[in-house]
Structure 1
Amino acid sequence: MNRPGDHPSAAWASLAPGTVLNAVLETFDAPALSRRDLPRVAAAHQRQGAHLDAMQARVIAELAGRTEPPGGPATAVTIAETLHVELDAATELVSLAVDLVTGLPATLTALDDGSITLPKARLIAHRTRRLGPATRAAVEAVALARAPELTETQLRRWLDDAMTPSNGENGENGEDRASS
């Protein structure tokens, strides 16, 4: 009988991020894996890392909601001291966490299930920050449909194109920019 780490299969590769996937990943011995299996294991680690980033965002947003004033500078100072990061980085982390939890729940879910990475979630948050709630949700939905298959650069370009005012005109192919 094979142990889970002996021969990676499609079954483990489709596991949702979380405790079970983490336990399976812990069993893998990279030098023993085939060249074909190594990228799949790397991708599973990426999904698991994204899941942990989502969990951290929820915790930081919860902390931000408990300080006076909520999300104020005390949260960033606490995060900077605890995570040993610069205050600017901590401020950005708190801002992103609160934004994901309160304004971009679908992006947080996509991060949690590992279909996007933290840098992609950050791009979606930054590029849609100034939109009204309904427009933001619409752009977010289309971006999340595309984001798993795009590089960060491609997603940035798509978001920038989607955010460029079209003065009431449609794109070259007659489709609305946000839905193309």
Structure 2
Amino acid sequence: MAGMIRPGDHPSAAWAGLAPGTVLNAVLETFEPPALPRRDLPRVAAAYQRQGAHLDAMQARVIAELAGRPDPPGGPATAATIAEVLHLELDAATDLVSLAVDLVTGLPATLAALDDGRITLPKARLIAERTRRLGPATRAAVEAVALTRAPALTETQLRRWLDDAMARGDGANGATR
């Protein structure tokens, strides 16, 4: 069968192209870093990063669902619950709930990029924070351009690019410069 992972497959084999999820996780669980050649370790680390981003997206959906439930009501009750179960400070939990709701309701493409492992949670947070005050159409346009650039940029570079785009005030029109 094409695309099947066989025992003993080398880390540079077909598994490297797997989307984050159950199958990639199962493959990653079989690797023993001391047994891998040095050249393969970065690829394995990147796969773990993609898998972690996928899990962050899944967590965001669950937290947004909790925030949308009427009992207990969203807002402070949700943040307090999340703070308690994740052992976070209330401010950090409040930020996490806000980000989760924002990704699910206002930035579906950013959530999808996170879920696919194309961006990390800190990059998703930057996109959310820097575009929060934009109208829906402008926000979607800036999000679309940001997502084409974000995978190849560091967090600092993405922050700078988003800040420049916001300072120009021209949204996606100047984003391709």
Q: TM-score, normalised by structure 1?
A: 0.90
Residues 178 and 71 of structure 1, relative CA distance in 2, 3 Å threshold? farther
Deviation at 1:164, TM superposition (A): 0.6
CA contact (8 A) 1:100 1:125 kept: yes
Which segment drifts farther, 67-76 or 121-130? Answer: 67-76
1:124 to 127, 132, 142: 127
Residues 1:179 and 2:176 aligned together:
yes
Displacement of 1:10? 3.6
Determine if contact 2:79/2:94 at 8 Å carries over to the other structure.
Answer: yes
Which residue in the other structure is 1:171 paired with?
Answer: none
1:53 and 1:77 mapped to 2: Cα distance?
19
Residue from 3, 24, 33 that aligns with 2:7:
3
The answer on whether the counterparts of 1:142 and 1:178 sit within 8 Å (CA) in structure 2 is yes
Does the 8 Å CA contact 1:50/1:114 hold for their aligned counterparts?
Answer: yes
**Residue equivalent to 2:79:** 76
Gaps of 5+ in 2: 1-5
Question: CA separation of 1:146/1:10 partners in 2, compared to 1, >3 Å: closer, same or farther?
Answer: farther
Aligned pairs, how many? 171
| Aligned 8 A contact 1:116 1:147 in 2 | yes
Whole-Å separation in 1 of the counterparts to 2:10 and 2:98: 42
2:105 corresponds to: 102
Matches within 5 A, 1:18-57: 18-57=21-60
How far apart, in 2, do the equivalents of 1:127 and 1:107 lie? 13
TM-score of the two chains, using structure 2 as the length reference: 0.92
Displacement of 1:7: 1.8
